[in-house]
């Protein structure tokens, strides 16, 4: 069968062989990418996150992905520093984690990344993690548009808040936590992005959000 295929290829014109080779290389490339994705997401052994430190800090932990991270990391045995803007929601998540994982310590820090004073908020975080070996940082906090709109339709307040929360807030939190990681020479930082920056590059109806979550 293989000999038959190669024999047929030898009789084909040069342009066909070039196109065939390009197609084969492209198919091989995407196959390897897919296999790597399968391995990373389903087959790769999980890491012992506690080797980075016994604490994890999560921003935006009261809903969705951030809340999921909080419970997953608590399940891995990591103590948590939860940073969010709503004291009530933080307490609810903290109580739920304490009820499910009795030995896990939970510290909450109230910071409003959109309308609050970021410098003051960073000082709160710095004080909260003083003496804690925070080995995992999950930068999850983020906001998007209330509804789809073109770039020129984005009002100043929303534009300012998007940049302040998604870029400035994430950068400043990383700066605060990173110092301890550098001193201990270990740590892991996870920045939550968005498919808006990958699946639909330069998403015209969420341009600023896509750029801030790239």
User: Is 145 a known active-site residue?
Assistant: no
| Pair 130, 202 in one domain | yes
| Pair 95, 71 in one domain | yes
Q: How many domains does the chain have?
A: 2
Name which of 112, 92, 108 is nearest 100 in CA terms: 92
Give me the CATH number covering residue 195.
3.40.50.720
| Pair 60, 109 in one domain | yes
* Burial label, 16 (beta-carbon count in 10 A; 0-12, 13-18, 19+): exposed
| Pair 6, 104 in one domain | no
Task: Give per-residue pLDDT as tens, 183-204.
Answer: 999 999 999 988 766 766 667 7
Confidence (pLDDT) at 53: 94
* pLDDT over 70 (residue 13): yes
Q: Which domain holds residue 175?
A: 49-212
| Pair 97, 29 in one domain | no
Residues 6+ apart with CB under 8 A from 131: none
| Pair 94, 183 in one domain | yes
Catalytic pick from 52, 147, 206, 209? Answer: 209
The C-alpha atoms of residue 113 and residue 118 are separated, in whole angstroms, by 6
| Pair 184, 144 in one domain | yes
| Pair 8, 58 in one domain | no
Name the pLDDT band for 9 (thresholds 50, 70, 90): low
């Amino acid at each position: 069968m293989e000999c038959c295929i190669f024999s047929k290829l030898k009789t084909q014109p040069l342009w066909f062989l070039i196109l065939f080779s390009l197609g084969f290389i492209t198919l091989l490339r995407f196959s390897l990418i897919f296999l790597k994705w399968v391995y990373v997401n389903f087959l790769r052994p999980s890491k012992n996150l506690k080797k980075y430190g016994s604490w994890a800090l999560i921003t935006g932990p009261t809903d969705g992905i951030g809340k999921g991270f909080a419970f997953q990391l608590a399940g891995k045995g990591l103590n948590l520093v939860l940073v969010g803007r709503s004291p009530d929601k933080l307490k609810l998540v903290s109580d739920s984690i304490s009820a499910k994982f009795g030995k896990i310590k939970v510290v909450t820090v109230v910071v409003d990344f959109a309308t609050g004073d970021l410098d003051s908020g960073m000082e709160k975080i710095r004080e909260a993690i003083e003496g804690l070996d925070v080995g995992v940082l999950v930068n999850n906090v983020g906001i998007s548009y209330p509804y789809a709109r073109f770039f020129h339709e984005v009002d100043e307040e929303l534009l300012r808040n998007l940049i302040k929360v998604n870029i400035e807030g994430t950068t400043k939190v990383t700066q605060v936590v990173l110092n301890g990681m550098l001193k201990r020479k270990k740590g892991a930082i996870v920045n939550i992005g968005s498919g808006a920056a990958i699946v639909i590059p330069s998403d015209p109806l969420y341009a600023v959000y896509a750029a801030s979550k790239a």
